[in-house]
Amino acid sequence: MFNKTVFNNSAATPVSTGTFRDLAERLLQGEVIGPDAALALLRSDPADYLDLLAAAAALRRRYFGNRVKLNYLVNLKSGLCPEDCSYCSQRLGSAAQILKYTWLTSEEAISQAEQGLAGGASRVCFVASGRGPADRDVDRVAGLVGDFKTRNPQAEVCACLGILKDGQAERLKACGVDAYNHNLNTSESKYSQICTSHEFSDRTRTVEAAKAAGLSPCSGLIVGMGESDEEIVEALFALRELGSESVPVNFLMPFEGTPLADTWLLDPVKCLQILCVARFVAPQSELRIAGGREMHLRSLQAMALHVANSIFLGDYLTSEGQSAAEDLAMIQDAGFVVLDAAESRPDRTANEPQTRAEAGPVAEPVAGPGQEPVLRRRGAGTARQPNA
């Protein structure tokens, strides 16, 4: 993907706004950025964020044009996880009042996924809580993915089932899964502080197994957990090293009932800076704004689209996002076009909101700074219509 030329600078060297453009230009010529330069960008003056954003936007435009890829989450199995990831509402001992249910039927999973496609998504992510799947779980997912792909051959499918055992990635590939998500979440040096029930190396091994089986590796991170700037950079370079083709960046949603409740360490400009550095580190990787965008980017969400080329449509695994109509209006208002929109939702074009105003109010309030995430009470595992 990159040539061998590596440039770097001292983290102690202040970065001028002209440097942002120069760095982007060199990346467009095929060079790659080193960790010290990335750290300097992350620590650049927040007052200069528009210049940093403009430079990162040049990279985004080169590789992804004006398209925004929509992903749609289907939580196949919610809560009741034996692992202790401290950020997660589904963790062992979580007191968060999330939906808890065991495996959806194939029919319900496919129905949920097709509503995501009808809403404009081109990739569906089938997710299940837990340390990792048993072989019978993989068979279950393989069956539903096979049926889903037969009905929707144009759709991309990502599976996210946890740590994989030998042979499971190959089984998923054979049934039509396109990508496998397993986030590193944070740096190796921070990992033992956020999770003790498995190790960083378990995660890298699964990403490598997925890649070796021919699945597109999707792996990203969560920021806002108290990690240092150095640890963010370390995590981004670990992802580049792994060859992650899609990098979801989550902003911590501090669920009540989890160890990271009441943890509010981000502001919108810092979130943008993190996304910009992620773009500089891996310019050609899909960069996905993931959970927590509403509460942490807030009024700067649309600006982040100039750096990231992808978002999740509608709701998250256990919490509610802004309405799907608002997502679509935001994309359009910012001058972007949904990837494959015409192909994936031909019957929705006439009804599409033309402006944010036409999208109407958000049906449910989405948490803001200092407010608990709004727990998901619609879509998969409920009798209510999904947010798609």
The answer to whether 363 touches 287, Cβ cutoff 8 Å, is no
Rounded to whole angstroms, what are the CA distances from 340 to 118, 122, 307?
A: 12, 7, 19
Report the residue number, 162 or 283, with the smaller CB distance to ligand SF4. Answer: 162
125 is catalytic: yes
Catalytic residue among 218, 271, 276, 279: 218
**Nearest approach, Cβ of 185 to ligand SF4 (angstroms)?**
8
Question: What single DSSP character describes residue 159?
Answer: E
Contact region for ligand SF4 (CB under 6 A) — 79-87, 199-207, 330-338, 354-362?
79-87
175 is catalytic: no
Nearest one of 8, 40, 42 to 227, comparing CA atoms:
42
**Nearest approach, Cβ of 29 to ligand SF4 (angstroms)?**
39
Alpha helices in 159-228, H assignment, sequence order: 168-174, 188-194, 200-212
**Nearest approach, Cβ of 282 to ligand SF4 (angstroms)?**
23
Backbone angles phi, psi at 24, to 5 degrees: -60, -40
Catalytic residue among 60, 288, 293, 378: 288
**Nearest approach, Cβ of 85 to ligand SF4 (angstroms)?**
3
Q: Does residue 159 belong to the site contacting ligand SF4 (CB under 6 A)?
A: no
276 is catalytic: no
**Nearest approach, Cβ of 260 to ligand SF4 (angstroms)?**
12
Catalytic residue among 140, 158, 175, 203: 158
81 is catalytic: yes
Report the residue number, 42 or 85, with the smaller CB distance to ligand SF4. Answer: 85
88 is catalytic: yes
Report the residue number, 92 or 212, with the smaller CB distance to ligand SF4. Answer: 92
The residues facing 338 across adjacent strands are 68
Out of 120, 162, 379, 386, which residue is the one contacting ligand SF4 (CB under 6 A)?
Answer: 162
Contact string 81-100 vs ligand SF4 (x = CB under 6 A): x-x-x--x-xx---------
Measured between alpha carbons, how far is 339 from 329 in angstroms, rounded to an integer? Answer: 14
Residue count, binding to ligand SF4 (CB under 6 A): 9
Rounded to whole angstroms, what are the CA distances from 107 to 5, 43, 44, 158?
A: 50, 48, 50, 18
The secondary structure of 339-376, three-state, reads CCHHHHCCCCHHHCCCCHHHHCCCCCCCCCCCCCCCEC
Per DSSP bridges, beta strands 179-181 and 67-77 are unpaired
- Where are the strands (E) in 13-165, listed by range? 32-33, 67-77, 123-128, 156-160
Report the residue number, 94 or 309, with the smaller CB distance to ligand SF4. Answer: 94
Report the residue number, 33 or 141, with the smaller CB distance to ligand SF4. Answer: 141
Contact region for ligand SF4 (CB under 6 A) — 77-85, 147-155, 221-229, 280-288?
77-85
Out of 115, 122, 129, 285, which residue is the one contacting ligand SF4 (CB under 6 A)?
Answer: 129
Report the residue number, 79 or 217, with the smaller CB distance to ligand SF4. Answer: 79
Question: What single DSSP character describes residue 152?
Answer: -
Half-sphere exposure of 57 (CA within 13 A, CB side): 15
Measured between alpha carbons, how far is 215 from 119 in angstroms, rounded to an integer? Answer: 25
Residues 6+ apart with CB under 8 A from 244: 207, 217, 218, 219, 220, 282, 285
Report the residue number, 131 or 151, with the smaller CB distance to ligand SF4. Answer: 131
Return the structure tokens found at 26.
Answer: 């060199």
**Nearest approach, Cβ of 81 to ligand SF4 (angstroms)?**
3
Catalytic residue among 60, 91, 123, 125: 125
Catalytic residue among 60, 88, 240, 345: 88
Catalytic residues: 81, 85, 88, 125, 158, 218, 288
Residues that bind ligand SF4 (CB under 6 A): 81, 83, 85, 88, 90-91, 129, 131, 162
